[in-house]
Structures are given as C-alpha cells and as structure tokens.
Chain A
Amino acid sequence: MTAASEQTGLPAPGQIVLEARSITKRYGHVTALDNANLELRAGEVLGIVGDNGAGKSTLIKVLCGAVVPDAGQVLLDGVPVHFHSPLDARKLGIETVYQDLAVAPALDIASNLFLGRELRCKGPIGSWFRLLDKRRMKREAKREMDELKFHLPSIGSAVENLSGGQRQGVAVARAAIFARRLVIMDEPTAALGVRESGQVLNLIRTIRDRGLPVILISHDMPHVFEVADRIQIMRLGRRVALTTPKRHSMSEVVAIMTGAARGDEQPRSPDPNPNG
C-alpha cells in the first residue's frame, strides 16, 4: 500500500531480491528456456533484451507466476518460492505491468488504481453495508500520483479520456502502489509514442528511486539503455551476457543478441546458428 521506502528491513542496495536458477521450460519439442538464470538486485532497473523467441517472455511469465517451469528454482530474498498463478506472486509483493494497457477505460483513475483492492469505509458501514470509501481512495490515489511525480488531469476523470501514455501511467502506478518487493514490466512502452514513452520511463526511474527494483522487458533498445542499470541479454532460451549501458554500446548488445558476437556467458558448445 504505502511506499516501500517507508518500510523497514529493506535489503541493502545490491543485495539480490529475486533470483532465478537454471529455469527450463519446454513446450513440446520447443525449448523456450534452457537453464536460464536471472538476478535482480535491490535498487536497480534490470533490462532484459533478446530477439523474438529468445525466451524473455517465458522467463518473465515464470517470475510473475503465469507459467510453471519444468525445472529450476525461483528465490525471493533467498527463499525458494513456488508460484502457481499470478495471484501467488502478487501476494508476495510482486506486481506485473502488461503491455496491453490493463485498465478499465470507462472507470475513473482512482477506481482503476484501486480496482480489485477497493477501500471500504471504516466501521459497520464498511463491513456490513460494504460502502466504498471513495473520498479516501481519491485522496490516496492523488497522493500516490503526486509522489510518483506523474501529473494527470482530475483523478475523477475516466481513463478513456487520457492519452495512451497516461493510461499506461495509471497501470504502472497501480503496480508501484501495491508492489512490496519488485515490479515486472513487460513491454510497457510498446503501444506508446515517443513522448508518452518518456513519461513511462520517468515513472520507472521514480519507482526505482523509491526503493522498488524493476525488471524491464523491452524490444526498444534506446528505452532499455535510457533507464536500465544492468542489461541481461537472452539468446536461445538462456542468458548469454550481463552488461551495463556503459560497458557495451547498443550495437554491441544487438550483436550479442543476434549471435553475431559472443557474450560472456556464451555456452561452450558451438553455436547452432552462427550467422544469426
């Protein structure tokens, strides 16, 4: 509910928050993930890049509970966890933002932020008559949006009256408000224009600075280089390199991604498709 920075017992920066060890997932004859690893550290934005079919989507689905892996382990704060549905992951404080603008357009901003987690009035009015505390939801929604430095028109206006960037901002803000451990974003800027993407990227930085680490999956290399602290490059179902925007240039990352160059963690076995 409240900002993670207000919580005590936050891991020191750099400590591993979420870890995936040797995750394997097969669909029939297709190996989507082949011993894939991932470590998300406190206070960072971890970008995940890879060509189509590199396994980044499947890895994310494993981390947010949408897919159960065939083998491997997921650890949250060093403790093994088993997600059977996205609800399991959410209960442990992992929120996911999907690319296809998961909002209810006819409802207002405050209703969307609290959708599925509505606040009721205190006392018997709330518990017996289930009366919503609309004023408190509006107030808290406004406060959260202010804290995230995301400016919107009246918090009572319908989401369908917002631009695409503002809508995605609402979805991102909802995740940020309710996440306690980390936020996963699956192509959050895919449907957005340049300026609108900028708004969402700003939001991602704000969330990280408030103390929540972020996993960002994106096709858009400039976006990843703009906000990511570290970049994990996926290829053929596994991590082939872990780098930072300073160490490698965009074209080098693309080369590793497509197999034209070798990553640090490239498997020893000869690449089945060296020309990528």
Chain B
Amino acid sequence: MAGKGRSANGATLESAVAVNTLAKMNRGGPMLGRVLTMPTFGPLIVLLAFCTVFALTTHTFLAAGNLSLVVQQSVIVGTLAIGQTMIILTAGIDLANGGVAVLGTIVAGRLVNEGHNAGLCLLFAIVLCTVVGLAAGSLVSRLMLPPFIVTLGLLGIITAATRLIAQGGAFPVTDDLLSWTGNTLNIGDTAITYGMIIMFGLYTLVWYLLTQTAWGRHVYAIGNNREAARLVGIPVQNRLLSVYTFAALLYGIAAWLALGRIPNADPNALQNANLDSITAVVIGGTSLFGGRGNIWGTLIGTLIVAVLRNGLTLTGIDPLWQDLVTGVLVIGAVALDQISRRRQR
C-alpha cells in the first residue's frame, strides 16, 4: 500500500501510467485478493475454525437443532451488540445496554401482570428504553461528558430503578405477544425463531444505514477524526444524539427478544450483557478507538462466543475454558487493531 502511494507522488507520465495500472489491478483483481482484504475475513476464519473443530470432536454440533440453539442463544447479546457497534464506531462505549434491556423487560412484565394491554405495554417499554438512550446521548453530545462515565453512571441508576420497579420479584410472562419472538418457524429440522429473523433484519437495516447513507459516513467520520468531521460541517452533536437514541431503541427490541427467549422478566438477568456485547464487537474487528469496523463482523463475533460456549459444553470441557478463550480472543483482536493502526500512521 505504502509503495503504491509513493509511486504516485511525482506527477510524471510514468507514474500516472503506473497508478492507472495499479488501480485497474485493484479493481479487477482476483477474487482471492478481495476476500483476503475483507474486514470480516479474520473473524470469519476464527468462526469457521471453531465450527470445524467442534464438528470433528462432537457428533451433535452440526445437528440442525444444535445450530439453531446456538443462534437462539446469541439473539439477545447479538442485538445489544448492534447498538454497541454504532456507539463504538463513534469512539464511544456503552456499559448500560444490558441494564436498559432489563429495564424494558421488567416494565413490560410488570405492566402486563397488572392487566394492561400487552401491545401498549411493549410499546411503552421500548419507548422508555429509547428515552433513556436520548438522555445518555444528550449528556454525551451536549455536555461532552465521556461516554464511559455517562453509561457507567446510567448502569447504576437503571439497575437500581429496575429493582425498585420490580419490587424484589420477577414477572413470569404468559402473554402471547410478549413471548412471540420465541415462537419458531420450522424449515425441515431447523427451528427458526421470530427473534432470529428480527435480529437479522436489524443487522441488515443497520448495515444499510452505516454503509449506504450519509448518516453512516458521518458516524464513521466522527469516530475517525471528530475535529475534521466538525470542520467539514457535519452536525456532530446531532449525529451522536441520534446514535445513542437509536441504539437504545434496539435495546428495547432486545428486551422483547429476551422475553421470547425466557418468558420471565427477572431483574437479575443479563448481568454481563454489556461486557458480552463489547466482546462481540471487538472480536468482530471493530476498533475500540472508533471509526473502523463492520456490522457483520459484530454478528460473527457474537456467533464465535456462542459457538465456543456451545461446543465446549458438548465436548464436556469445563466451561471456564470458554471465558479463558474468549479473553484471549478479545486481547488478540485489540492487539491486531493496535498493530494495524500503528503501521498506518
């Protein structure tokens, strides 16, 4: 890359020709080259490697029912990680996303148990989550408070508020609408839950927003070089506010997915979801420094963690190994990012 850049320095005819040739090679280059430079290539290889190992060491890993279970298990963290990806792309971080989703489940669960209309309860819970995101986004964008501190404080507030609302109990959810996301659509032996479809839909939506709209370009630019984004006239504050608010809307939807997965609104649920979502984002190749990353990488990162958990359980290995391997992957991913950033400087 550096060599190519240097060859274009002189405005001489030869270098212009060389650049043209290089550009052509770049465009029509072999398929393999393009696959190798895909940002999700590394995470994809890791995912396939784990799948291969577990397929060879167990009889049940590749069974349709088991693979479906793996995806079902990753739906909640996978959805939280979408919001986390957008926030990390702006060089922020969200420690409160699991807490916000639990708040959503408790509010919806309690209201439904009190006999209110389920649709309205769900809508209210999702709107409430979105408003929490609006508040966090306002603090981050208007008051310029560090996202780490804002969301850490928010996590404490939300967790306490959730317990106060729950009044020391949990709310079993029997309503069809609230647990609808856990219903399955069977294609052959494969059980596909509506929750999975919603999650994939959200990934596709956010992929579109991040890569095909000006809003997405601005999100990347803000994380990449905030001062430059401001200087070229991007409304940085409004973009940040929209990112935090939209992310929280997704957390509200994740609350619905959580009720479909386990139809019991429990204030003690999803305790580590915030860190799990950060893990998925980082393993998926998104830079914690912002401005670099890919939403599909996050999906792959989520699946890597889920496959690891599932596979190690099937092989009968102590589940503590899962945490250990995940830790190694996180540090490895950040190290890779750091090295590539340093080389480009």
Contacts and interface: CB of A to CB of B under 8 A. Distances in A.
Interface in A180-196: 195-196
A151 B228 contact: no
B292 A116 contact: no
Interface in A23-47: none
Interface size class of chain A, counting residues whose CB lies under 8 Å from the partner chain = 35 or more
Interface stretch (A8-16, A53-61, A104-112): A104-112
Contact of B214 (A130, A152, A154, A163): A130
B212 to A, nearest CB: 6
Contact of A115 (B6, B217, B227): B217
Contact of A105 (B26, B27, B224): B224
A111 B217 contact: yes
A102 B16 CA distance: 26
Contact of B234 (A103, A111, A115): A115
B1 interface: yes
Interface in A77-106: 86-87, 90, 98, 100-106
Given A115-B221, A202-B11, A105 B5 contact: no
A86 B232 CA distance: 10
Given A106-B292, A107-B221, A166 B234 contact: no
B224 A104 contact: yes
A120 interface: yes
A116 B22 contact: no
A149 interface: yes
Majority secondary structure, B binding face: helix
Given A130-B214, A132-B213, A154-B27, A160 B220 contact: no
Contacts of B8: 151-153, 166
B233 to A, nearest CB: 4
B207 interface: no
A87 B8 CA distance: 34
A116 B16 CA distance: 29
A162 B5 contact: yes
Contacts of B233: 86-87, 90, 116-117
B217 A132 contact: yes
A111 to B, nearest CB: 6
B109 interface: no
A117 B215 CA distance: 11
Contacts of A111: 217
B2 A161 contact: yes
A137 B125 CA distance: 41
B260 interface: no
Contacts of B224: 104-107
A132 B11 contact: no
A165 interface: yes
A130 B15 CA distance: 38
A157 B16 contact: no
Given A102-B225, A107-B217, A131 B11 contact: no
Given A98-B231, A162-B5, A163-B6, A120 B214 contact: yes
B167 interface: no
B136 to A, nearest CB: 24
Contacts of B2: 161
B19 interface: yes
A116 B218 CA distance: 7
Contact of B5 (A106, A150, A161): A161
Contact of A116 (B9, B10, B225, B232): B232
Contacts, number: 105
A224 B22 CA distance: 35
Given A131-B212, A132-B212, A160-B344, A154 B225 contact: no
A100 B227 CA distance: 10
A73 interface: no
B142 interface: no
B15, B224, B228 — which one has the most chain A CB atoms within 10 A of its CB? B228
Contacts of A153: 4-5, 8, 19, 22-23, 26
Interface in A252-269: none
B69 interface: no
Given A103-B225, A103-B228, A199-B11, A130 B234 contact: no
A174 interface: yes
Contacts of B213: 130-132
Contacts of B217: 107, 111, 115, 118, 132
B133 interface: no
B284 interface: no
B291 interface: yes
B229 interface: yes
A152 B234 CA distance: 25
A105 B232 contact: no
B208 to A, nearest CB: 8
A130 to B, nearest CB: 4
A101 B228 CA distance: 8
A195 B9 contact: yes
B228 A161 contact: no
A174 B234 CA distance: 14
B221 A104 contact: yes
Given A163-B6, A166-B5, A202-B11, 20 more contacts: A86-B233, A100-B227, A102-B228, A102-B231, A102-B232, A104-B228, A107-B217, A115-B234, A116-B233, A132-B217, A150-B11, A153-B4, A153-B22, A154-B26, A157-B26, A162-B5, A166-B8, A166-B9, A195-B9, A195-B10
13 contacts: A87-B233, A105-B225, A107-B220, A115-B228, A131-B212, A151-B19, A153-B5, A153-B23, A154-B26, A166-B5, A166-B8, A196-B9, A199-B9
Q: Which 5 A-B pairs have the closest CB atoms?
A: A118-B214, A116-B232, A102-B228, A104-B224, A104-B221
